[in-house]
Structure 1
Amino acid sequence: MNKYKKTLLIVTALLVVFAGYTLSKSLFISSKQPPPAPTTVELNEDGAVQRFSKALTFKTVSYQDRQKFDFNEFNRFIAFLRDSYPNVHEKLELEFINDYGLVYKWMGANPNEQPIGFTSHYDVVPVLSGTENEWEYDPFSGSVKNKMIWGRGTLDDKIGVIGILEAAEYLLNEGFAPTRDIYFMFGFDEEIGGELGAQAIAETLKQRGIQFDFILDEGGAIVENMVPGVDQPVGVVGISEKGSATATISIKGSGGHSSQPKNRTNIGRIASAISKLEETQFDGNLRGPGNDLFEFVAPEMNFGMKYVFANKFLFKPVIEHILLQKPATAALIRTTIAPTIFQAGEQYNALPEEASAIVNLRLMPGDSLADVKKFIVNTINDAEITVTVTGSEASNVSSIDGPQFKSIQQAARNVYNEAIIAPYLMFAGSDAKHYDMISDNTYRFLPIEITSDDLNRMHGTNEHISIKNYLSAIKFYIEIIKETN
């Protein structure tokens, strides 16, 4: 056998081994989904819908200017909760934090077992001035039309508050008694950061030495067509949320008449700095919660996609390149850069003496505020530009291997039998980050099916939810409480 044939045989043998190895990784990748135990919960549907409809009529609106809060509406909402959920208010302890933060404690049989917590918020964002007439039904009417419930808070996040209390009232009526303490913690200023609500609740409980096994807040949801190669809906559970940083990029210098400009003006230099940041960007890296998402959905993919994700050691650069092509998937694997405000100049024929820009960045777990500032300074590379960075770091990353995440998976599968439940990285902020200080794990999941249109309506016009979706959320909260006790 000549040398050429020997080489060909060796190459062929290596290719066969390689193909066999990579194919076997695809064929034998096992599902991470627990088999569903379909829920048997039967609700008083009309009563549940009526109570939710009424809850939406209270204008518990958060404003950046806290002087604008109408606390009469908040008081009316709290009174409504007392009237609507009598067993909850008779059998659970209720404590007020800063008057409007609500902490319900459901005593368990074993005080030595770590408690669990469920948190939501009952404040809502304002209706944008000028859009009132664009709503099909008044945003605070709680209208029930065409199997839909309409109003501000149907998606964000009175549904969480009412869904949890409906679940508790149902279980109390059934004679259910938890084995461990359960806390329901409802903030009233989440939409403006949660400083007096969730943050104050967490700090109060920390002072008492209370440490939770896990806390569940709003966040991810069940989404159709979310992951290429997966036909089933995917329910994403946030195991971490990105940090949020505000970078101010500014320069001061001589102005002058616009008829005699310097080659590099203050506006030009800030514009150049922004251009450099957008052109450079942070590196994309499929790691952490983003990687975990694909670990959980890969076994459910069609064969072609399964082959790619089962062999990430080979295809990772290709996967990252593809993910970086769309904003939604790029945000999953890198710290993002979004210039949002540009300030300079007052008169058309005068060069401004100052120019500045505001850049919002959402930080990946592992990228710190200090890392962000260093990246900006090095990328801009202009010693006369001042860079300041403020904000919050990314939250802790919660476990996906323990019983906490598995219980959430199981409860969701019991209600949404066909859904694939997977961890992911949450891009937006929530109250959950405040609870990192008192919980071993914080998860973010709103148990409803949601579309891209729903996301636009969440803080926008015509926010609404189907009756079926709302009732399914109640069933999930019943299932998760039972799963963890």
Structure 2
Amino acid sequence: MKKWKMVLLGLASLFVLFTIVTGFKTFILTSKQPEPQPVKIDVPGEGAVARFSKAITYPTISRQDYSQFSYAEFDDFLGFLEDSYPLVHEQLHLDKVNDYGLIYRWQGSEETKLPIGLTAHYDVVPVLEGTETDWGQSPFSGEVVDGKVWGRGTLDDKIGVIGILEAVEKLLSEGYQPKRDVYLLFGFDEEVGGEKGAQAIAEKLKQRNIKFEFILDEGGAIIEGMVPGLAKPVGVVGLSEKGMATAELSAEGSGGHSSQPENQTNIGRISRAIAKLEKAQFPADLQGPAEDLFAYTAPEMKGAMKYVFANQAIFEPVIESILLKKPTTAALLRTTIAPTIFQAGEQYNALPEKAKAIINLRVMPGESLEDVQSYIEETINDELVQVSVTGNEASSVSSIDSWHFKSIQQAARNVYPEAVIAPYLMFAGSDARHYDEIAENTYRFLPVLITAEDLNRMHGSNEHISIDNFLQAVSFYQELIVNADHQAGDR
């Protein structure tokens, strides 16, 4: 047999073997979704919706300058909570931290079990001046129109606060007694970092030597059209959140008249540095929570996409190229850079003696700020550009093998049986990171079914949520509290 025929035969054999192995891996791929135990949404709908609507009318706006808080509105909101949830305030112990951070303790019947914590925040971002007329309903009206509740906080995050309180009030009305302690932890400044709210709450609990099985905060949601190749809505539970850091690039040199510029001005030097960073980007790698996301969603896919994602180890370069095409999925794979501020010059005909740019970074788990700074310096490769990186690294990555994650997944499947519930990496920040030291695991999940367009409304115009979604969120929190009671977890 001629040599070239032997080569072709060998290649054909390898191709057949490759096809058999990858096809078999695709065939044996099994679902990681628990069987749903659908629940009847047993919530006092009309009263719950009315209370939720009322909660939106309080403009509890947080601002970078704490002296600019309208604390009277916060006081009124807390009075509203006390009036609206009498059983919670009669039967749970309430501590306040910095006057407005709330710690409710629902004492369990078994002291040997570690507690769980449900956290949310009741502060909201301001409505951008000049956009008020863009709203279909006034942003602090709480109007109920066409089966939807409108206003700032309906998605971020009064729905979490009110959803949790409605769930606990309902369980208390039925005489339910949890086995383990349940803590309700509500911050009031999450939108500006949570320093006086969640961070102070976590510090107080740490001083009391309280350790949690898990903490659940806002974060991911059940989103339609999120994962390529999967028609079903996907509920993403954040295992970690990317770090948030600031890189400052600065260059100094002689100024002078603009009629006699040097070949490389300070503005040009900083612009060149940014252009290099945007062209190079940080290295991409499908790992950690992003890899877990596709491990959980691949079994639910069909056709070619299922084949590709079922064989991640082989097709990782192909998968990465697909994900890198969209900003929303590219952010799963790498630290992101976003130049947001450029400062230089005061007059049109004078060269600035200094130029500075600010870059917002969202840092992947496992990358330190030192790693980030080194990469930026190596990529820019310009000794005259000074680089300074400050901020927070990514939070720790929580377990997908624990009963904690499985309880969240089961509760979500019970309320949304058509959804695929999977782990993921959260891009934005949340209060959950403040609880890392006092909880075995921290998760980020808002139990609502929304679209990508809804995500843009969270800090934008026309924020609203359907009544059905709100009531399903209440039902989820009830399910989770009850499910957690059936698990182990001794002190």
TM-score normalised per structure 2: 0.97
Alpha-carbon separation, structure 1, partners of 2:484 and 2:366: 31
Give the distance between the partners of 2:452 and 2:306, measured in 1 at CA.
25
Alignment partner, residue 439 of structure 2:
439
Q: Residue 114 of structure 1 contacts residue 212 of structure 1 at CA under 8 Å; is this kept in 2?
A: yes
**What is the CA-CA distance between 1:260 and the residue it aligns to?**
0.7
What CA RMSD, in Å, does the superposition of the two structures yield over aligned residues? 1.1
Moved more, 457-466 or 236-245: 457-466
Q: Is the 8 A contact 2:224 2:452 kept in 1?
A: no
CA deviation profile, 1:57-81 (whole Å, cap 9, x unmatched): 1111101121111111111111111
Identify if the C-alpha distance between structure 1 residues 415 and 383 changes in structure 2 by more than 3 Å, giving closer, same or farther.
Answer: same
Name the residue aligned to 1:356: 356
Aligned positions of 1:272-421 closer than 5 A: 272-421=272-421
The 3-state SS of whatever aligns with 1:480 is helix
Matched, 1:238 2:213: no
Residue in structure 1 matched with residue 219 of structure 2 by the alignment: 219
Q: How many Å separate the matches in 2 of 1:6 and 1:332?
A: 44
Amino acid aligned to 2:409: Q
Deviations 1:394-447 (A, max 9, x none): 000000011000000000000001100000000000001101011110000000
Is the 1:223–1:235 contact (alpha carbons within 8 Å) kept by the matching residues of 2?
A: yes
What letter matches 1:103 in structure 2?
I
Deviation, structure 1 residue 85: 0.6
Q: Deviations over 1:346-393 (max 9, x none)?
A: 001100000000001100001110011101111111111111111000
Whole-angstrom distance in 2 between the partners of 1:331 and 1:129: 30
SS for the counterpart of 1:346 is coil
Q: Give 1:9 shift.
A: 4.3
Once residues 27 and 39 of structure 2 are traced to their aligned partners in structure 1, the CA distance between those partners, rounded to angstroms, is 32
- Per the alignment, residue 33 of structure 1 pairs with 33
DSSP 3-state at the match of 1:361: strand
Q: Is contact 2:63–2:192 with CA below 8 Å preserved after alignment?
A: yes
The SS at the match of 1:213 is strand
Structure 2: how far apart are the matches of 1:80 and 1:289? 39
What residue is the counterpart of 2:42 in the other structure? 42
CA distance in 2, matches of 1:3, 1:58: 81
Counterpart of 1:342 in structure 2: which amino acid? F
Q: Distance in 1 between matches of 2:336 and 2:5?
A: 52
Q: Displacement, 1:15?
A: 2.6
Q: 1 CA distance for matches of 2:14 and 2:195? A: 60
Q: Which moved more, 1:379-388 or 1:403-412?
A: 379-388
Equivalenced residues, count:
485
In structure 1, what is the equivalent of residue 430 of structure 2? Answer: 430
**Displacement of 1:3 after TM fit?**
5.6
TM-score relative to the length of structure 1: 0.98
Q: CA deviation at 1:114?
A: 1.1
- Deviation per CA, 1:311-353, whole angstroms, max 9, x where unpaired? 1222111111111111111101000011000000000110000
**Contact 2:239/2:425 (CA < 8 Å) preserved in 1?**
yes
Counting only pairs closer than 5 Å after superposition, residues 179-194 of structure 1 correspond to structure 2 as 179-194=179-194
Q: Give yes or no for the alignment of 1:196 onto 2:173.
A: no
Contact 1:54 1:142 survives alignment (8 Å): yes
Distance 1:425 1:25 in 2: 26
Q: After TM superposition, give the deviation of residue 12 of structure 1 in Å.
A: 3.3
Structure 2: gaps spanning 5 or more residues: 486-491
Which residue of 2 is the match for residue 70 of structure 1? Answer: 70
Alpha-carbon deviation of 1:11?
A: 3.7
- My pick for the range that moved more, 64-73 or 186-195, is 64-73
Aligned with 1:332: secondary structure?
A: coil
Partner of 1:119: 119
Deviation at 1:47, TM superposition (A): 0.3
Query: One-letter code of the match for 1:101?
Result: G
State the distance in 2 between where 1:14 and 1:268 align: 54
CA deviation vs aligned residue, 1:279-305 (integer Å, no higher than 9, x gap)? 111111000111010000000000211
Residues 270 and 6 of structure 1: CA distance in aligned 2, closer, same or farther (over 3 Å): closer
CA contact 1:290–1:332 (8 Å) conserved in 2? yes
Alignment partners' CA distance in 2, 1:6 and 1:128: 71
For residues 444 and 466 of structure 1, what CA distance do their matches in structure 2 show? 21
Aligned position for 2:260: 260
Contact 2:337 / 2:359 at 8 angstroms: preserved in 1? yes
Query: Which residue identity does 1:279 align to in structure 2?
Result: K
The one-letter amino acid paired with 2:327 is P
- Quote the Cα distance in structure 2 between the aligned partners of 1:15 and 1:387: 50
Superposed CA deviations along residues 32-52 of structure 1, whole A, max 9, x for unmatched, are 000000013411100000000
SS in 1 for 2:285: coil
Rate the CA distance shift 1:7–1:269 in 2: closer, same or farther, 3 A. Answer: closer
Distance, in Å, in 2 between the alignment partners of 1:450 and 1:431 is 21
Q: Aligned equivalents of 2:306 and 2:471: distance in 1? A: 34
Larger mean CA deviation between 471-480 and 303-312 belongs to 303-312
Whichever residue aligns with residue 395 of structure 2, its letter is S
Give yes or no for contact 1:26–1:303 (8 Å, CA) kept in 2. Answer: no
Aligned in 2, Cα 1:134/1:7: closer, same or farther, shift over 3 Å? closer
Cα shift at 1:6: 5.1
Q: Which residue of 1 aligns with 2:138?
A: 138
- Once the two structures are superposed, residues 214-257 of structure 1 have per-residue CA deviations (whole angstroms, 9 ceiling, x without a partner) of 00000000011111111110000000000011011001111001
SS of aligned partner of 2:332: helix
Q: Which residue matches 1:453?
A: 453
Q: 1:8 offset after TM fit, Å?
A: 4.6
SS class of match (1:141): coil
Look up the SS of the partner of 1:256 in the other structure.
coil
Equivalent position amino acid for 2:320 in 1: E
Report the 3-state secondary structure (helix = DSSP H, G, I; strand = E; otherwise coil) of the residue aligned with 1:215.
Answer: strand
Task: Tell me if structure 1 keeps the 8 A contact 2:41–2:471.
Answer: no
User: How far is the alpha carbon of 1:151 from its aligned partner?
Assistant: 0.8
Partner SS for 1:333: coil
> What is the rounded CA distance, in whole Å, between the counterparts of 2:122 and 2:7 in structure 1?
71
Equivalence map 1:16-31=2 (5 Å): 16-31=16-31
Q: Which residue of 1 aligns with 2:488?
A: none
Residue identity over aligned pairs, in percent, reads 65
C-alpha separation in 2, matches of 1:357 and 1:467: 44
How far apart are residue 14 of structure 1 and its match? 3.0
Structure 1 residue identity aligned to 2:264: R
